């Protein structure tokens, strides 16, 4: 059964769209925006132009295709307006000291006609495959969670000149650009949360610190750190090797309240790494009370001072990264509820 888009949408849909009208250069763009947004919110299981046009009354494929592929408009301008609208509403207004979550998301995709498609690590399947990856920033303030910016990662294999192509940009560099967009808006996070793909990149960490940002990030198990002994002697070792030498009694059990409550064992200490002056606080988090029994061990770094960092602080703050998944899962659920109710 076809649906009428956008006239089948509730009145709030048109009120929302009108707030973007001055971003468009002509009436066809305003119409194209409504048809495209209506298609994204509509019943099509596959959100491609053909399916959205086929499942909508009054939407012409060629016109919708022209709006998306050829019409001269900037997604960044539309996204900026979205954030301005959000920040005007009391329920969604941005708060100081929020968590800024940086993440990348990969999706398997066949063919090579779409920009950015290449053989790369795809998070949703946990292995390397042909697909597309985007880098995103997300806002969370303890009550509400919402996406900020998104940028396509152009894999080198998808570009004519590979890594020498002017469009090629590494994920950490894209991440810094997205964080700078947030700062340019006058929004300053209390903490930046990053996974090991970014936390293990020293250049990326230096750029965060140059912006006077506090962060908590994962690092790889083979990350080399310099630890000061009681004799003041410094030794360089891999963090996973150091973990084996830490007495079991130094790990503190912490009950982590996520979707399913679980207990983890955590220890924190200070150490230094090459190319970063001074010491940083590190943490080892595992799902058992001893290294021998643990099947999951995670390693973290933060530039918060050790006296401000507790084991509970580490696991609770880092678990906030999960709000990205929660947001999109709930968004999908709301769309499905809409379909059932309609």
The model's pLDDT over 119-128, given as tens digits with 9 standing for 90+, comes to 777 766 677 7
Query: Tokens 């920009």 identify what position?
Result: 115
Q: Tens digit of pLDDT for each residue in 209-257?
A: 999 999 999 999 999 999 988 777 899 999 999 999 999 999 999 998 7
Q: Sorting pLDDT into bands at 50, 70 and 90, what band is 22?
A: very high
Look up tokens 């503190």; give the residue. Answer: 252
> What average pLDDT does range 292-313 have in this prediction?
94
DSSP helix/strand/coil, 191: strand
Each residue's pLDDT tens digit, 268-292:
999 999 999 999 999 999 999 999 9
So where are the chain's domains? Answer: 3-73, 89-189, 215-323
**How confident is the model at residue 338, as a pLDDT?**
45
Residues 6+ apart with CB under 8 A from 112: 118, 130, 158
- Which residue has 């999109």 as its token pair? 328
Q: Which parts of 81-126 are beta strand (E)?
A: 99-108, 118-122
Tokens standing for 248?
Answer: 């079991």
* E-assigned strand segments in 56-183: 56-57, 99-108, 118-122, 127-140, 145-153
Band (pLDDT 50/70/90 cuts) for residue 55 is: confident
What DSSP character marks residue 319? G
Location of structure tokens 């983890």: 264
CA distance 180 to 184: 6
Q: Which pairing describes strands 252-256 and 234-238: parallel, antiparallel, or unpaired?
A: unpaired
């Amino acid at each position: 059964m076809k649906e009428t888009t956008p006239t089948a949408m509730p009145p709030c849909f048109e009120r929302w769209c009108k707030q973007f009208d001055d971003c468009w250069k002509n009436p066809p763009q305003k119409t194209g925006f409504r048809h495209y947004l209506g298609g994204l919110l509509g019943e099509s299981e596959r959100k491609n132009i053909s399916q959205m046009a086929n499942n909508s009354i009054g939407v012409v494929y060629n016109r919708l295709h022209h709006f998306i592929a050829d019409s001269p408009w900037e997604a960044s301008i539309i996204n900026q307006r979205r954030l301005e609208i959000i920040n005007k509403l009391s329920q969604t207004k941005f708060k100081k000291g929020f968590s800024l979550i940086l993440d990348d998301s990969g999706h398997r995709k066949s063919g090579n006609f779409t920009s950015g498609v290449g053989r790369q690590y795809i998070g949703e399947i946990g292995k390397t495959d042909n697909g597309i990856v985007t880098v995103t920033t997300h806002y969370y303030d303890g009550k509400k969670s919402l996406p900020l910016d998104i940028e396509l990662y152009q894999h080198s294999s998808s570009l004519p000149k590979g890594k020498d192509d002017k469009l090629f940009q590494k994920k950490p560099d894209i991440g810094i650009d997205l964080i700078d967009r947030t700062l340019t808006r006058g929004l300053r996070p209390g903490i930046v949360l990053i996974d090991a793909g970014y936390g293990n990149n020293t250049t990326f960490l230096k750029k965060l610190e140059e912006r006077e940002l506090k962060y908590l990030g994962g690092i790889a198990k083979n990350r080399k750190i310099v630890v000061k002994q009681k004799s003041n002697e410094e030794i360089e070792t891999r963090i996973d090797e150091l973990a084996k030498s830490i007495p079991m009694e130094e790990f503190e059990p912490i009950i982590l309240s996520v979707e399913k409550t679980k207990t983890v064992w955590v220890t924190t200490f200070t150490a230094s790494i090459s190319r970063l002056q001074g010491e940083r606080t590190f943490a080892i988090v595992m799902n058992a009370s001893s290294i021998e029994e643990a099947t999951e061990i995670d390693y973290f770094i933060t530039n918060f001072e050790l006296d401000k960092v507790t084991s509970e602080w580490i696991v609770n703050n880092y678990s906030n990264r999960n709000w990205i998944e929660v947001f999109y899962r709930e968004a999908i659920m709301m769309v499905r509820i809409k379909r059932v109710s309609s």
